[in-house]
Structure 1
């Protein structure tokens, strides 16, 4: 797989990579907030790593009308507010650049290792969720209880997915999404027999719920 094909996948965060992409119908504040830290922060991390070369102008995002203090808007701004998270994303893109450079300088060997790239990407991705979820936890109260529970279960489950270095290519992600809910959960949706969901979808939701409960009881995490 070409190095920068992984770059493209990291920006898109297709399906499984993005906490709320699989739940596009979720509450807007929660969705937009989580996606900001899973899309814009990686982009600014890439800028910080020099992925786009020397830029003539500073890249700066326009702030939203509400909750402005929940976000940062430029490399300098984000470095002052969330330096550790920026370091994680910068390290990922620096690895990709380093591997690409070594490959171009050597006709005999290909230095890019997909598993290494996935390690850096998932480490940064989990860090984004860990930082952003508490910020937008209050938005869960606007959701139906089953949907709010799924949001927390999914965020916890990503830790386990990340530990496997799950490959986020389009085909694999597309196949995986078939086991996730195709709509928002509503009051009256009771596991393990939610109406309209396949048996596999119900089992996945039950498994995510069990993992989250186990983590809460033990205080353990796979990452």
Structure 2
């Protein structure tokens, strides 16, 4: 059913307001310096399956240890590198970089530790490498770490490995997670299938010719980004209702930030935004570098940078704008992103938020034009 034109104005206004807040309070020039930040303890992370324990013909990975969970990401980056040669030099263009870099930020900012303080898991005074099952962030990330890895297993990336691969369960909340490909097809069949499909598609990308990076992406590469974002969003959608109770262990501002960040990912996903090494590092400086406390209120949190403060405000605007329009804001954005041209303009706009504020308003006008042009476009899995 088509939207009446007056209703369309509300999503557009909320989205434009969020962008204006970001671009008017950010020094974009400094943000575009090429980042060289690898995840914490990257050199200590296992880089092959041989780095994990194998017993009784099973290689067992402990996803409740930071080094081992991060090891899954490092291995995925390694085994997919040959399919990513045209995406960027030295594997920096790998489409999977966003996942380990996000996990490293979670670890660095204490978001993987037990927020209830009932245990010392993740605390410097206890086991700093421990990942808590009480942490909302760690449980959400499980679905963006273990599920992609097992999807790659099922897609045949480790067929030469002579042992079965399995995850070790936590001591608590065992039923909230899956531990091998069979379990995951039972617990979250749709999400597991989407990650497997992504890795199967990736095997066909070896011959993709070199194309320009942002804002233009070849149709073949765009299809790769489309499928990884479909799988990524599916993981978030599967995990959100399952772990909502974990939000009670963290402060209200932190819970709001987590939920609004999860919602914002859907906007980024619709543009098929490349989460390669450099782009992820550039945009990750906007995320708060510590857990938010009960008294924190952006944009006036004194020990957070201006970028972090205003990013929190913008995320709230996007979340609340989408909520009050009953999902209309996201529908507006997805419809604008429904064509290759729209996604190109969307990526360009997202990049200009930090790199060239003078181009924000012209970019907004282009997004509105693309929305109008794509008005009758289907936005299912766009």
- TM over 0.5, yes or no? yes
Residue of structure 2 aligned with 1:3, choices 83, 91, 98: 83
Q: Tell me if structure 2 keeps the 8 A contact 1:146–1:187.
A: yes
Q: Distance in 1 between matches of 2:105 and 2:326?
A: 27
> What SS class does the counterpart of residue 184 from structure 2 fall into?
helix
Residue of structure 2 equivalent to 1:167: 274
Matched, 1:204 2:204: no
CA shift in 2, pair 1:6/1:89, >3 Å = farther
Q: Do residues 133 (structure 1) and 240 (structure 2) align? A: yes
Specify the alignment match of 1:35 in structure 2: 141
Task: Give yes or no for the alignment of 1:75 onto 2:155.
Answer: no
Instruction: Check conservation: 2:92, 2:277, Cα contact below 8 A.
Output: no
Taking a change above 3 Å as real, the CA distance of residues 216 and 21 of structure 1, as seen in their structure-2 partners, is: farther
Report what 1:97 is aligned to.
Answer: 203
Which of the two has higher C-alpha Rg? 2
**3-state SS of paired residue (1:69):** helix
State the alpha-carbon separation in 2 of the partners of residues 66 and 2 from structure 1: 39
Over residues 105-157 of structure 1, what are the superposed CA-to-partner deviations in whole Å (9 max), with x where a residue is unaligned? xxxx6799332211111110111011012111111111111111111111111
CA 1:67 to 1:135, structure 2 compared with 1: closer, same or farther past 3 Å?
same
Work out whether residues 179 and 204 of structure 1, in 8 Å CA contact, stay in contact via their aligned partners in 2. yes
Pick one of 102, 106, 111 that aligns with 1:23: 106
- TM-score (normalizing by structure 1): 0.86
**Is the 1:23–1:183 contact (alpha carbons within 8 Å) kept by the matching residues of 2?**
no
The change in CA–CA distance for 1:196 and 1:11 in structure 2 (over 3 A counts) is closer
Aligned match of 1:47 in 153, 161, 166?
A: 153
1:180 aligned onto 2:287: yes
**Structure 1 residue 212: Cα displacement:** 0.9
User: What count of residue pairs does the alignment treat as equivalent?
Assistant: 214
Aligned equivalent of 2:194: 88
Q: Which has the higher helix share?
A: 1
Say which of 128, 142, 163 aligns to 1:57: 163
CA distance in 2, matches of 1:112, 1:3: 16
Match of 2:323 among 213, 216, 222: 216
Provide the rounded CA distance (Å) in 1 between the counterparts of 2:160 and 2:185.
18
C-alpha distance in 1, partners of 2:97/2:161?
19
Instruction: List runs of 5+ in structure 2 lacking aligned partners.
Output: 1-80, 85-90, 116-131, 211-217, 335-382
Q: CA separation of 1:7/1:156 partners in 2, compared to 1, >3 Å: closer, same or farther?
A: same
Question: Could you report, residue by residue, the CA deviation over 1:67-124 in whole angstroms, capped at 9, with x for unpaired residues?
Answer: 0000111111111221111111011101110222xx29xxxx6799332211111110
The whole-number CA distance in structure 1 between the counterparts of 2:165 and 2:321 is 42
Match in the other structure for 2:377: none
CA contact (8 A) 1:51 1:97 kept: no
Structure 1: which 5+ runs fail to align?
A: none
1:7 deviates by: 9.7
Deviation at 1:21, TM superposition (A): 4.7
Summarize the Cα distance change of 1:45–1:76 in structure 2 as closer, same or farther, 3 Å threshold.
same
Q: Which 10-residue stretch deviates more, 62-71 or 27-36?
A: 27-36
Q: Distance in 1 between matches of 2:262 and 2:297?
A: 20
Change (3 A) 1:52 1:8: farther
